[in-house]
Amino acid sequence: MSELIQYDLSKPAQTLQLATELQRFVKEQKLTVNIKGKEYPLVESWQFAGSQLGLVPVIQSVENVSADGEIKYLATVNIIKIVDGSIISKGIAICSNKEGNKRMWDEYAICSMAQTRATGKAFRNILGWLMRASGFSATPAEEMDFNREPDGPTEDERKILRDLVFSSTLDDADKEVALTTIETCTDYKRYQAIQYRLESVQKPLDQITNPSQKDISKHIKKTVK
């Protein structure tokens, strides 16, 4: 690995050398995500590139901007020159559990991703051209993750539906159909419709063997209604 602050980007030969070193490191460490045939660099790729130029990311602020059942964080990151402490770039980014593939994330993970995205964005502002010269997209992978279409239900969410099938009043044939539908469901709105349907055909509590605390809570809610 190259020593810190070895490269001078004002010199073409050193720029080419750094691009080659960056490409080698990123490929060896597998620090990209392939999205529709393009390689998008993870934040560690940007951090490596910065380290070779004496640049480090410093978190300026992290704000909790959550509201109305949404967990949402906004982070600001500065890129600092180690040699003199000057700020040469800034990145601002958000993360929310309203994003399709963040529904099951804990609050700390949402907060952390906001900081990660801000870091990648701050580096991209000054080194995007270098990343492209190395053969990768100039867009950080975490930023593409923000723009990605919502995923279908997660495995944990599918398990919730399976459990509802087994505790339902459906006959064996309908249970088989329901289980197949769950496995092939790729749309979250469809997932919610299946969940509502299964919840409406649940067995009474006294017919469930060894009811869980969740089953008991559901029974209480229905009784109260």
Condensed to tens digits (0 to 9), the pLDDT of residues 5-48 reads 467 767 778 888 889 999 999 999 999 988 778 899 999 999 99
Mean pLDDT of 59-74: 93
What is the signed CA dihedral for 28, 32, 36, 37, rounded to 10 degrees? -30
What's the rounded Cα separation, in Å, for the pair 4 and 180?
Answer: 55
Q: Would you say residue 207 has pLDDT above 90? A: no
pTM metric for this prediction: 0.64
Condensed to tens digits (0 to 9), the pLDDT of residues 84-125 reads 999 999 999 999 988 877 878 889 999 999 999 999 999 999
Output 177-181 pairs: Cβ under 8 A, ≥24 positions apart: none
- State how far the alpha carbon of 185 is from the alpha carbons of 102, 152, 182, 194, 197, in Å: 18, 7, 5, 9, 14
Q: Which two tokens stand for residue 131?
A: 């990343």
Q: Would you say residue 224 has pLDDT above 60? A: no
Q: Which residue from 103, 119, 125, 145 is spatially nearest to 62, judged by alpha carbons?
A: 119
Delineate the domains of the chain, giving CATH numbers in brackets: 12-147 (3.30.390), 155-224 (no CATH)
3-state secondary structure the chain: CCCCCCCCCCCHHHHHHHHHHHHHHHHHHCCEEEECCEEEECHHHHHHHHHCCCEEEEEEEEEECCECCECEEEEEEEEEECCCCCEEEEEEEEEECCCHHHCCCCHHHHHHHHHHHHHHHHHHHHHHHHHHHCCCCCCCHHHHHHHCCCCCCCHHHHHHHHHHHHCECCCHHHHHHHHHHHHHCCCHHHHHHHHHHHHCCECCHHHCCCCCHHHHHHHHHHHHC
Q: Would you say residue 225 has pLDDT above 60? A: no
